Structure 1
Amino acid sequence: MMIELATTALLFLSFLAFAAKRGLTYMHVYQQEEYDSERLLSWIWKNKAFDKRLSVVVIVVTILSFFIPPVFVNFLIFTAMAFATYREKDPRKDSKKKLVATARAKRIFFPAYFLSVLAATWCFLPVTPMPWLWILNIHLIPFMILFVNMMLAPFEEMNQKKFWNEAHNKVLDYQPTVIGITGSFGKTSVKHILGHILKTQAPTLVTPGSVNTPMGISRILREQLEPEHKYLIVEMGAYGRGSIDRLCRLTPPDFGIITSIGHAHYERFKSLETVAETKYELAEAVVGRGGQVVVHERTLRFDYTRAMKEQNENHFIVCGESADVDKSKQADKSYLKKGDLEIHKIIQGGKGLEVRFTWKNVTYNVEVPLFGIHHGHNIALAFVTAFELGVSSKDIQTALQSLPQIEHRLEVRKQSGGLTIIDDAYNSNPMGFQSALGLLSQIGSSKRKILITPGMVELGKIHDEAHKSIGAYAGEVCDIAIVVKGKRIPTFITAFKETGASKQLHEVESFDEAQKWIAKNKQDGDVVLIENDLPDIYERVPRI
């Protein structure tokens, strides 16, 4: 009797530990998916991230329970559960983007954990001594998390509204000039460039990193916005229709910059027309306040965006490359008109970019210590906006000469042993990828060129075609490609291999494994491009 009680207690304790570890695993994904229940369920289904190993053991033990005493049944399940707990990684420590114990995460995790433990008690009731019930308990863990979040929804909405109002009222009280920036790609880079220029003129608050959601921006405003801030630069992310509109209500914009409309986050929008309409919610808000909108001319490929611009000509400033710079315009239509800012030349040198453009009948030559041809129009967008805000062209050019590189966005670093790293880990879309490969070709012209990439994400139905195209180009440029999670991008691998038998391609399971390959095989003068670094939800799918 005592032995049976002891094994029962051990089994219960092992489930306490297991439920905590497994709950943290799902919370980690939930947090990265911004507590979107539909996306968590989609991730679980797509990656088959439901328990398999422990469940199989419990099924076997259930069959054995007809032939062995309960004390052995409990001990076997305890042993399996303890081992599974030991193997499960802690996302608070063992992950790229660690699980952050925010107040919201705690509000979801602890009640869900309590419910999981409470549900497990039925396995010990005299009327239900069936081992297979443990399988149900194991698989209920993510659904407990979803259930608790659903029950907390009214409270979370009320809480978010409170924070939203505090942040919004601060903006209204301090009245900084608000510059909103959105786009499928390029927005963080333009924010970095413009922020650097404006900080040389007056106190400026720039939303940090990739903070671009209502709650993230609200937190920054509540904690950091001060009365002396003359300028507030807000990066605005879009995750569906109305996303930008909500952010514009939070921080009513006086100026807007729309950098691009492309296939980033295509899975969420389903069509480029929807992307365009969503991004141009910023233009609507700015025009409604009588402000100025600075846009890249390629955003005018859509009927909706052109119509808005034509109806509000005095509120729009358009920037774009001439056909000499953007070869695609020799075949496609250009939407640049007389009086728009036209970029004539973008030259990548060893120390940075030289950009020449004409605006209002004045030609400017700007030198900027950035790498990547695509930054040419990012510089132009920031230049025009700063000029319209009252900064002289001389001051803008002086500020640009001291611009630091943008972290993880074509950041070029020299390392010991003659190794050069081109770090583009935070910036992967078809256009950016192509630009990065062009830079790799130039910097590594007489050296061994190595690419590390897991490919691109959230491209929807163009995923295969985009990777086929970029794989072919990578094959022309690179000597070696190290592909992380190659099963995601088979068309890239096929296209790369078709470019020549002399090319090397290695498939690895993680970015860490790719780095180890470089450390072991590097040669003097190697140039390594790191193109995209998958978040944990793509690269480190738990093996459960």
Structure 2
Amino acid sequence: MVVLTVIAQFVLAGGFAFFAWRRALTYLHVFQQEEYDGARFLGWLLRTFTVDIRATVAMAVLGIAFYAPEDELVAAIGAVLGAVTFVVLGLRESDPRRVAKKTLAITERARRILIAAGAVQAAVVLAIVAAGLPLLAWIAAVQAIPFALIAGNLMLKPFEARVQRRFWTEAHHKLQTLKPTTVGITGSFGKTSVKHILGHLLSMQAPTLVTPGSINTPMGIARIVREQLAPHHRFFVCEMGAYGPGSVERLCRLAPPDLAIVTAIGPAHYERFKSLDTVARAKFELPAAARARGGIAVLAGQVLGFDAAKAFLAGGTDKVIVVGPETEARLKVLATRESRQGVEADVVWEGKSYALKAPLHGLHHAGNMALAFAAACALGADPDDLVTALKSTPQIAHRLEVKPQPDGSIVVDDAYNSNPVGFAAALASLDLIVGKTGRRILVTPGMVELGTMHDEEHARLGGVAADHVDVLLPVIPDRIDSFIDAFRRAAPDRPVVPCETFADAMGWLKANLRAGDVVLFENDLPDLYERRIRL
């Protein structure tokens, strides 16, 4: 009977191992989207109250039904049934590597975390088996799976730090050796768009490497430098994201900037910073780093009112270019416009007037265009050449990207936009893009990481949407109640179609969209916001 008990326990452990691996992938998917930040992952677990119910209930029922400490055969049968239950639940688990809006990427780091978490879980399982604990004890092993990921990640920290330091050193050494003119761009919003426009302008002047997409972290930038920077590149343009005070400064040590651009200070990612003054201090680490090496700072006039900007300007303005309508602006923006053909800005640079035009949509892009124009001029480009180059600026992927459809409708893809300024500009653009008989349709889950400003900003934008939207499809409506309420108050006759998921919204569009309609997809939340995990 002892042999039977041992075999049954190993069968149970095997079934649990399969289940734990499948369930760990589900949790790792969220952990990865939280950038392997244990505190943020724990916050998600608590906020969503994500706990395993099915496996817990199954083990509780089996544990009670087959609790027979004096009858090893009954206990063995219960263990085998427990193993079968674990296998069945594991097979039913959806695979985030294949079924997800943004699939789980099994990177080398993700693989290491899975292995380390597996070691932690193995220790838990061995303790249960060695102690001869009943089925009910396996509930603890089930609930421990997400915490094993956190523990595994903590165990790997020294190793990950060494790996990242090696990559960081290789990238930094390559930049120091090849010496491209490095442009760093930061801001609460507009970073990626300014990078896109400036990269286009500089590539017309000389070979230019631009970090792709929204890559703006140390390891992301280091990877691009290590893999793509070549001796022929004259310019290197990179976006620098701020996740707290000191993060931009660390990026500047990796890629010391010869020119710094601060695009805006606003409530995007307010949840991380808690105040706009803290945001401003973090962003101004970039122009401070450029100044330290005799470089140039290009600042949007919008940022000048913050104490961090005032302190920076107090240190001298000889290599500072302010862009905007402000009196002190060196590149003076006289007027901005938007038409069906794109955005325009009338500017004055070094005493001469220029009419800037780019086939981009959203009035906020006029300011982004002016910033890129000023930076390119500061780097020695001929302004007249830049005016010509701007006219061929390609659309920016997922940032008010206008896509005419075969059925005569138009899709405006603003899926990667998550800030109040861009949101408002996108809404206003609908009036220009919509067909004469079409409807203006908004699909949005709202914005994230606004912290205490979440309801206030959504309520304000709900009122703005009422001026520009004929049909509202709020995705995950319960997280943007203030937006929906404001829209309904301002436009009580306009239909609101709540959608629990993005797929529901797509289903409504498939059934109701017609020629002439324009659909704005404003922001696209990661799976951890939209996907409601039921375990």
Same fold (TM over 0.5): yes
Once the two structures are superposed, the pairs formed by residues 87-486 of structure 1 within 5 Å of their partners are: 87-125=92-130, 127-321=131-325, 336-338=326-328, 340-444=330-434, 446=436, 447-486=438-477
AA of the residue aligned to 1:543: R
Question: Shift in Å at residue 158 of structure 1?
Answer: 1.5
1:232 counterpart SS class: strand
Q: 1:407-449 CA distances to partner (integer Å, 9 max, x unpaired)?
A: 0000001001111001000012111110000001222274211
> Would you say how many aligned residue pairs link Structure 1 and Structure 2?
529
Question: Shift in Å at residue 516 of structure 1?
Answer: 1.6
Q: 1:489-543 CA distances to partner (integer Å, 9 max, x unpaired)?
A: 1111111221233211122222122112111111221110000000111111321
Say whether the 8 Å CA contact 1:484–1:508 is kept in structure 2.
yes
Mean CA deviation greater in 302-311 or 235-244: 302-311
TM-score, normalisation: structure 2: 0.95
Q: 1:82-106 CA distances to partner (integer Å, 9 max, x unpaired)?
A: 3321232211111122222221111
Question: Shift in Å at residue 74 of structure 1?
Answer: 2.8
Question: Shift in Å at residue 283 of structure 1?
Answer: 0.9
Residue 524 of structure 1 corresponds to which residue in structure 2?
515
Say whether the 8 Å CA contact 1:339–1:359 is kept in structure 2.
no
Q: How far apart in 1 are the matches of 2:58 and 2:12?
A: 14
Residue 32 of structure 2 corresponds to which residue in structure 1?
31
AA of the residue aligned to 1:31: Q
Q: 1:107-128 CA distances to partner (integer Å, 9 max, x unpaired)?
A: 1111211331342234444x53
Residue 56 of structure 1 corresponds to which residue in structure 2?
57
Residue 326 of structure 1 corresponds to which residue in structure 2?
none
Q: How far apart in 2 are the matches of 1:6 and 1:157?
A: 42
Cα distance, 1:517–1:9 mapped onto 2, change above 3 Å? farther
Mean CA deviation greater in 358-367 or 39-48: 358-367
Question: Shift in Å at residue 202 of structure 1?
Answer: 0.7
Question: Shift in Å at residue 81 of structure 1?
Answer: 2.3
Say whether the 8 Å CA contact 2:116–2:155 is kept in structure 1.
no
Question: Shift in Å at residue 76 of structure 1?
Answer: 4.3
Q: Which ranges of structure 1 fall in alignment gaps of 5 or more residues?
A: 322-335
Aligned Cα RMSD in Å? 1.8
Q: 1:280-314 CA distances to partner (integer Å, 9 max, x unpaired)?
A: 00011111111110011111111221121132111
- Seq. identity, %: 46
Counterpart check, 1:496 vs 2:487 = yes
Residue 40 of structure 1 corresponds to which residue in structure 2?
41
Say whether the 8 Å CA contact 2:184–2:260 is kept in structure 1.
yes
Question: Shift in Å at residue 3 of structure 1?
Answer: 8.3
Residue 89 of structure 2 corresponds to which residue in structure 1?
84
AA of the residue aligned to 2:305: R
AA of the residue aligned to 2:48: N
2:393 counterpart SS class: coil
Q: How far apart in 1 are the matches of 2:302 and 2:264?
A: 7
Q: How far apart in 1 are the matches of 2:386 and 2:445?
A: 37
Mean CA deviation greater in 107-116 or 247-256: 107-116
2:345 counterpart SS class: strand
Question: Shift in Å at residue 4 of structure 1?
Answer: 7.0
Question: Shift in Å at residue 78 of structure 1?
Answer: 3.3
Question: Shift in Å at residue 8 of structure 1?
Answer: 4.9
